[in-house]
Structure 1
Amino acid sequence: MNEQTHELLEQVLIAHGGLERWNSFSIVCATLVTGGSLWGMKGLTQDGTPRQMTVWLHEQRASMMPFGAPNQRTVFTPDRIAIETIDGQVVAERQAPRESFRGHGEISPWDPLHRAYFNGYALWSYLTMPFLFTLAGVVTEEIEPWSEGAQLWRRLRVRFPEHIVTHCEVQDFYFGEDFLLRRHDYSVDVSGGLLAAQYVHDYVDAEGLRMPSKRRAYRRGADGHAVWDELLVAIDLSEISFS
């Protein structure tokens, strides 16, 4: 990591609450409501029911409830996805879940375990940004800035190692003058490499850590700009708490 990249990453971590404070917690919980066109593309029905998301900060592990029934939750790790009852009875599970997306395109249908895996890794990464950039094996590099309207946003290109499951290996993150995350670009490898530009806003303070409460992922065009009339995923977060 060169000096300029190190300086940007340091400022980004400070702006979001600081690595020392982050490391003092082990779990984040949040209420979320999701929407967008992706679910319909996958043959799934999406409702506006609030769900509880629990994410472990220092290992790839997450759980959402309710899922499929009021007494069911998901159990996500990179090597296994499961749906189980709240007393621990397994309803369905899949080992090596990433393999089940092999050959998928944008409109390949998803079953409940596909959906649970996607929810698990995506929300884990969103709720650990930008601190997951400091995990072992993650490589960051500052690339040329981006003009967004009248603003100039600095960018970090982040390369994730194989053991961290996420949207894709290389992703770009955009930061405003206050060093808070503004936008996140990636390709959805589990959906045929669908290109997305996710905008984040409405920051909240939770135990001294700053998190965006709204995320809107749009299809990203070949020119790098968002296609504003194609909202893929909408996520509203509330009641964010660290413990």
Structure 2
Amino acid sequence: MTSPLSEPADDVIRAALKAHGGLDRWRNVAYVSADVAFDGVAWNTKTREHPLSHARVTVETGEQRTVLTPFLGADRRSSYSPGLAAVVLADGRVERARSQPRAAFVNDTGETAWDELKLAYFTGFAFWNYLNLPFLVARPGFAVEEVAPVKTSTGTWQRVSYSFPREIATHNRVQAMYFDEEGILQRLDYNSEIFGGQPTAHMLSGYETVDGIQFPTRREIVPRDQDGTPAAGPVLIGMTFTDIEVVNARA
């Protein structure tokens, strides 16, 4: 069942949702889809046995569901929900699947390469989070708190800490968003448990308006230094988005 969205109490978040197209507009969106190209040193390490360089990603805006196609072969796609990661053939048959997929990462190290189902799980929850933000925090169960703004070379960014409800799969429970003076999301901070809890800064740029909603076309995830600032490099995971499509819910 799709979770209802409600107007957040926090002023920064309300302004940000308006700047990104408005909560009323987002309520009418069923899916977001885009072509994505991957790069980055950590990505290359984790996917070296099953390299995934390009795919089309589709996420629902209600249920936690993500599909990447093609997925490691023209006749295959990945299928994600929090309790199941799967590889599905073109005719709909499930080639392989893993229930409770997050448990498979418990003994990973920084150098552990992912199998296909780990890759399906990680890309599934990560893209669902990314493409639903910042509207994601209008769902029930999120706790939001404003923290000190940050001065940058382009102006002062408002910063918000937010915690996830347990039913949503994500990098780690408490994360942060940074919004520029126009209310546009510029940065995410999280400590990805699947990557050993490494502090990272996720930078967003190249915004485009698609059917009334703002989307970044470039995302770069870099290490976060001890003082909380993004490191100059290397880019751990880079994502470039093209051909973004918004699919509205049926009237």
Task: Return the TM-score normalized by structure 1.
Answer: 0.94
Please give the alpha-carbon distance, in whole angstroms, between the structure 1 residues aligned to 2:39 and 2:168: 26
Give the one of 101, 107, 127 matched to 1:123: 127
**4+ runs of 1 displaced by more than 3 Å?**
45-50
CA apart distance, 1:148: 1.9
The 10-residue stretch of structure 1 (49-58 or 37-46) with the greater mean CA deviation from structure 2: 37-46
Unpaired stretches in structure 2, ≥5 consecutive residues: 1-7
Q: Is the 8 A contact 2:40 2:238 kept in 1?
A: yes
Q: Which residue of 2 aligns with 1:148?
A: 152
RMSD between aligned residues? 1.6
CA apart distance, 1:20: 0.4
What's the CA shift string for 1:67-122, capped at 9, x where partnerless?
Answer: 11111000000000000112111111100001111132322221111111111111
Please give the alpha-carbon distance, in whole angstroms, between the structure 2 residues aligned to 1:136 and 1:200: 25
Please give the alpha-carbon distance, in whole angstroms, between the structure 2 residues aligned to 1:122 and 1:47: 17
Please give the alpha-carbon distance, in whole angstroms, between the structure 1 residues aligned to 2:112 and 2:46: 6
Q: Is the 8 A contact 1:107 1:191 kept in 2?
A: no
Q: Which residue of 2 aligns with 1:79?
A: 83
Please give the alpha-carbon distance, in whole angstroms, between the structure 2 residues aligned to 1:110 and 1:49: 14
Superposed counterparts of 1:42-53, under 5 Å = 42=46, 44=48, 49-53=53-57
The 10-residue stretch of structure 1 (68-77 or 100-109) with the greater mean CA deviation from structure 2: 100-109
Q: Which residue of 2 aligns with 1:54?
A: 58
Unpaired stretches in structure 1, ≥5 consecutive residues: none
Q: Classify 1:179/1:100 alpha carbon distance in 2 versus 1 (closer, same or farther; 3 Å).
A: same
Please give the alpha-carbon distance, in whole angstroms, between the structure 2 residues aligned to 1:49 and 1:100: 23
Q: Is the 8 A contact 1:35 1:46 kept in 2?
A: no
The DSSP-based 3-state class of the residue aligned with 1:116 is helix
Q: Classify 1:118/1:75 alpha carbon distance in 2 versus 1 (closer, same or farther; 3 Å).
A: same
Q: Which residue of 2 aligns with 1:20?
A: 24
Q: Which residue of 2 aligns with 1:191?
A: 195
Q: Classify 1:34/1:209 alpha carbon distance in 2 versus 1 (closer, same or farther; 3 Å).
A: same
Q: Which residue of 2 aligns with 1:182?
A: 186
Please give the alpha-carbon distance, in whole angstroms, between the structure 1 residues aligned to 2:119 and 2:170: 14
State the identity as a percent. Answer: 32
Q: Is the 8 A contact 1:171 1:186 kept in 2?
A: yes
CA apart distance, 1:49: 4.6
Please give the alpha-carbon distance, in whole angstroms, between the structure 1 residues aligned to 2:50 and 2:9: 40
2:58 is the alignment partner of 1:64: no
The DSSP-based 3-state class of the residue aligned with 2:183 is coil
* Higher strand content, 1 or 2: 1
Task: Return the TM-score normalized by structure 2.
Answer: 0.91
Please give the alpha-carbon distance, in whole angstroms, between the structure 2 residues aligned to 1:180 and 1:86: 38
Q: Is the 8 A contact 1:173 1:183 kept in 2?
A: yes
The DSSP-based 3-state class of the residue aligned with 1:106 is coil
Q: Is the 8 A contact 2:188 2:201 kept in 1?
A: yes
The 10-residue stretch of structure 1 (77-86 or 226-235) with the greater mean CA deviation from structure 2: 226-235
